[in-house]
Structure 1
Amino acid sequence: MTKKYVSISDVKDYVGQEVTIGAWVANKSGKGKIAFLQLRDGSAFFQAVAFKPNFIERFGEEEGAAKFDTIKRLSQETSVFVKGIVKEDERSKFGYELDVTDIEVIGESQDYPITPKEHGTDFLMDNRHLWLRSRRQAAIMQIRNAIIYASYEFFDQNGFIKFDSPILSGNAAENTTELFETDYFGNPAFLSQSGQLYLEAGMMALGRVFDFGPVFRAEKSKTRRHLTEFWMMDAEYPFLSHEESLDLQEAYVKAMIQGVLDRAPQALETLERDTDLLKKYIAEPFKRVAYDDAISLLQEHASDKDADYEAIQHGDDFGSPHETWISNYFGVPTFVVNYPASFKAFYMKPVPGNEERVLCADLLAPEGYGEIIGGSERETDYNKLLAKIEEEGLNPDDYAFYLDLRKYGSVPHCGFGLGLERMVTFVAGTKHIREAIPFPRMLHRIKP
C-alpha cells in the first residue's frame, strides 16, 4: 500500500482524492456487505465506510472477500492504515467520509478494557493511559494545548520573555504547611509551589517575564478543584500599577478563551460547551469588587434560595461555595480585590492607608469554577518585607536573594499566577479537574 499519510483533520482538503490514513479503530458497526469504522488519529475522528462488492471488484473474489473479512474482524483500538477516497457527506456528523479501497492492520488490540459502555471513575483513572484515547478526553487535551499555545502567543505579543525557575528550592513561596519536602544531599529541599520569587529576579534583569511549569502543593484536599501537582503560568512585570495589572490579566484570559475558540472549535463541540457563554466572557468587561463589598453581598443575600454557603464575616476567607455565588452573581469572570493581609502571602503590598488589606486580586470564573488567577502588587521596601517574613515565622536567611532584590534598584512591580488545569476545566466546561491534566496527581492517586 502506498503510504502518503494524510491526517484526519486535513481530509477536507482532499475531496475526490484517494488518501491513506494511519489511525486507530475507535468503534465499528455494520452488517452484511457494509462496515462502518470510526477512526481516530489524534487530530480528529472520522468515519470510513467499506463495501464488500467494491473490494471483490478491486481485488477479485477470494482476496476481496478476505480483505473485507479483515475489516469485519477489527477490534477496538486496532491500529490500521486505511486507504480510500474522500467524499463529502452531509449526513455524516463529520461532514466527510472515506470510501475504503484498501486496509492494512498494523497492530492488533485484544480485549481493550474501556468499552463503549459506562465505567466507574476509579476504573477509568486506573486506566488513564487508555482513557486518554476517548473522544471526550482527547477534546479536553486539545483545549489544554490551545490554551498553552494562546498563552505563549499572548506573552510574546506583549513583550514578555520566557524565564525558567527551578523546581527544587530551599524556601517556600506560599504556605509552608503545603510543601513536599525531600533530602538534597543532607539538606532539606522542597518541590516548588510557585516560580514567583525567582521570576521576580528575572524581572529585575529582563523586564517583563513569564514562566510555565509544574508546581506542587501538599494539600490534603479531595475537592473537584485540587491537584497536588499542576501546571502554573506565572508572570511578573515592572512599572505597572495594581489596576493596570488587572487589565493585563483580563486581556490574557480573554486571549486564552479566544485561542480555544479559534484553534479547538471541534473539541468544544464534542464537549457540548456553550460557546455563546465563552464569547460573552470575551465581549463583556470583567467585574471588579472589593473583598469587603463581596462579604457584604454574601451577608445581604444569605437567605436567598441559591445561597448555598455558610455564614461569613469580614476577615474570613472564602470557601468554594462563596466564590461560586460571587461569580454567578455577576455572571462574568470577577476580580475580588484587596483581601485581608491576615491570610494572604507575605510579599503582597498593603493598600495605601490600610495596612490590614493588601493590593491583591483573585479572579473567580463563573459557572462554579472559582479561582483561576491569583495576583498582587509586590512589596518593594526591604525593611517592610523583612518584617513581614519575620512576622510569618520564616527564616530571613532562606529569603536572602529575594530580599536582595529590594536593596539594588527596587521598583514597583506586580505579578500573577494562573492554574492551567483550572483554566482548562473552566473553558472546557468539565466538572472535575482530574480530566484537565494527562496524568492527575491527587491525594490518593499517584499512578499511572
Structure 2
Amino acid sequence: MKGSLLSFKPQVYIKDLSRHVGEEVVIKGWLYNSRSSGKILFPQLRDGTGIVQCVVLKSAVSPEVWEALDHLGQESSLVVRGKVREDARAPGGYEIEVTDAEVVQAATGYPITPKEHGVEFLLDHRHLWIRSRRQHAILKVRHTVVRAVRDFLDQEGFILCDAPILTPAACEGTTTLFEVDYFEDEKAYLTQSGQLYNEATAAAFGRVYCFGPTFRAEKSKTRRHLTEFWMVEPEMAYATIDDVMELSERFLTAIVARVLDERREELKLLERDTAKLERIAPPFPRLHYDEAVRILQEGHERGALEDRFEWGGDFGAPDETYLSQQFEKPVMVHRFPAAVKAFYMARDPERPELALGVDVLAPEGYGEIIGGGERAASLEFLEEQIREHNLPREAFEWYLDLRRYGSVPHAGFGMGIERCVAWLCGIEHVRETIPFPRMLYRLRP
C-alpha cells in the first residue's frame, strides 16, 4: 500500500463501516472536530455519508503524520488509513485505529465555530453552513422526499413531462412574476407553475407530472416563502376534485412513510417528534370552506385569532395555522370562493360562486403544502374568464386549443417541496430546507 493515500482506491464510505469491521480501510473526508489526550489524538472525520471517530496513537504513526494531525484546523481535508473496530461509545458505533494519514489541504480560521452565530451570518456563509450536522440532516430528508415523490408518481403510472421555466405569460397574471428580456425585445417570465403546460401533456398522456424550480416575485418575508422553490405538479385527465383529494392523501402518506423508514436518525438529530408523523394515514379530514370559516370565526370569538375572518376571503398564514392546529392529520379545505382562486378553476355546479379547488394544510401549524383542484373544461367559460381577468387573449390561444380539441374533465395539484420538508423536519423556516435559499433580501451566496 505504497504511494499517495489520496489516489488510493477503492475508498470506503463511513456509512458502510459496519461491513468492514476488523479490516484496514481508507477514508477520504474532512476534519469535523478533534481533541487531544497527551499522546493520543481523537480526530472526527466526515465524508458526506457520516462522521467517524479516529484514534491516533503517537507511537503508531510517523512523526510527520503526528505533527500534521496535531495542529490540523477544522474542515481541513485529509485521507486516513486504519483498522475499523466496533465501539459503542463512539459516534456511529465504530472507530478507526489510524496507521497513516495524508493532509490534502490544511485549513485555518474556519468561520463557523461551536459558538452561537446569528442567522444572517450563517446565511452569508451558507456554502459552509451546509456542512453542519443539522443542515446535513435536513437536506438528507429533502433528498428522501424528492425520491419518494418521484417513486410514488412513477409507480402510479404518471409520466414526467417537465414544463418550461421561461414562459410568455403567467397562470394568474404577471404581478408576482420575474420578468426577463427575451430575444428581439420580447418579454418572458420565470414560471410560477407548470400547470397550464401539464394540462396539455395530460391530454396527450393521461397522467403526467412536472417537477422543477418555480419563482414568485411576492415581496414576502414570512417563514413560509422563498422566491425560488421546487414544486411537483401532477395532472390527471378524466379526473375531478375528489380524485385530487384522494391522490393527495395517498401521496402525502407515502412520503411520510418513506421519510420515517429511511431518515429516523436524521429526525432524531433534529429532535422531531416522530409520533406525530406516525399518525399520518388515510383518511384525512375534508373541510368545506363554509365550515372552515365557521371554525375561524369561533376562534376569533374565543380570542385565539386577532382578526375576524369573513366569508369570501382567502386564508392568510394565521388562518391556515389555526385551522391546521385543530387536526392531527393534514386537513383538506375545499370549494373556496371562485373570486380568490385562479381563472381556470372549474365551478361547483350546485353553487357557481364556489371553485372546485382544494388546499391541503399540514398539521402542527405548517399551513398549505398542496394546492389544486378541478380545471374548467368549457371553452366558452375560459374565454369569458380571460376577458374578465384582462388577460392577453393571444397568449392563451394555445391553452384554449385544449378545450377545442378533446376537452375532458381534468384535475391536479402542486406541492412545494420546501414546505413539505419543513413540516416533516419540524423546523421553523423554509430557508433551511433548500441548499441555497433565495428570499426577498437574499441572493447570495
Q: Which position in structure 2 is the counterpart of 1:61?
A: none
Q: How does 1:3-22 map to 2 (within 5 A)?
A: 3-22=9-28
Q: Which position in structure 2 is the counterpart of 1:354?
A: 351
CA distance in 2, matches of 1:269, 1:13: 24
1:208 correspondence with 2:214: no
CA distance in 2, matches of 1:93, 1:313: 54
Q: Which position in structure 1 is the counterpart of 2:172?
A: 174
Q: Which position in structure 1 is the counterpart of 2:195?
A: 196
What RMSD in Å do the two structures reach over aligned CA positions? Answer: 1.4
Q: Which position in structure 1 is the counterpart of 2:108?
A: 110
CA distance in 2, matches of 1:157, 1:21: 37
* Contact 2:300/2:308 (<8 A) preserved: yes
CA distance in 2, matches of 1:184, 1:334: 42
Q: Which position in structure 2 is the counterpart of 1:52?
A: 58
Of 411, 424, 429, the match for 1:432: 429
Residue identity (%):
49
Q: How does 1:290-309 map to 2 (within 5 A)?
A: 290-304=288-302, 307-309=304-306
* Contact 2:51/2:91 (<8 A) preserved: no
CA distance in 1, matches of 2:103, 2:172: 53
1:242 correspondence with 2:248: no
Q: CA deviation at 1:263?
A: 2.6
Task: From the superposition, tell whether residues 367 and 107 of structure 1 become closer, same or farther in structure 2 (CA, over 3 Å).
Answer: same
Of 98, 101, 104, the match for 2:99: 101
In structure 2, the residue corresponding to 1:276 is in which secondary structure?
helix
Q: Which position in structure 2 is the counterpart of 1:124?
A: 122
Ranges in structure 2 where 5+ consecutive residues have no aligned partner: none
CA distance in 2, matches of 1:367, 1:140: 18
Task: Report the TM-score when normalising by structure 1.
Answer: 0.95
Q: Which position in structure 1 is the counterpart of 2:308?
A: 311
* Contact 2:177/2:190 (<8 A) preserved: yes
* Contact 1:174/1:193 (<8 A) preserved: no
CA distance in 2, matches of 1:69, 1:406: 75
1:39 correspondence with 2:45: yes
Q: How does 1:400-411 map to 2 (within 5 A)?
A: 400-411=397-408
Letter in 1 for 2:289: Y
* Contact 1:236/1:414 (<8 A) preserved: yes
Query: Which digits, 9 at most, give the CA deviation of each residue in 1:252-297, with x for residues without a partner?
Result: 111111222223222212212122211111x352111011101101
Letter in 1 for 2:408: V
CA distance in 1, matches of 2:131, 2:305: 37
* Contact 1:334/1:363 (<8 A) preserved: yes
Q: Which position in structure 2 is the counterpart of 1:88?
A: 86
In structure 2, the residue corresponding to 1:105 is in which secondary structure?
strand
Q: Which position in structure 2 is the counterpart of 1:334?
A: 331
* Contact 2:253/2:282 (<8 A) preserved: no
CA distance in 2, matches of 1:157, 1:417: 18
Q: Which position in structure 2 is the counterpart of 1:60?
A: none
Larger CA deviation: 385-394 vs 258-267: 258-267
CA distance in 2, matches of 1:420, 1:45: 27
Q: CA deviation at 1:175?
A: 4.5
* Contact 2:173/2:391 (<8 A) preserved: no
Q: Which position in structure 1 is the counterpart of 2:76?
A: 78
Q: CA deviation at 1:240?
A: 2.1
How many residue pairs are counted as aligned between the two chains? 438
CA distance in 1, matches of 2:358, 2:306: 21
Q: Which position in structure 2 is the counterpart of 1:226?
A: 225
Q: CA deviation at 1:301?
A: 2.6
Letter in 1 for 2:44: Q
In structure 2, the residue corresponding to 1:173 is in which secondary structure?
coil
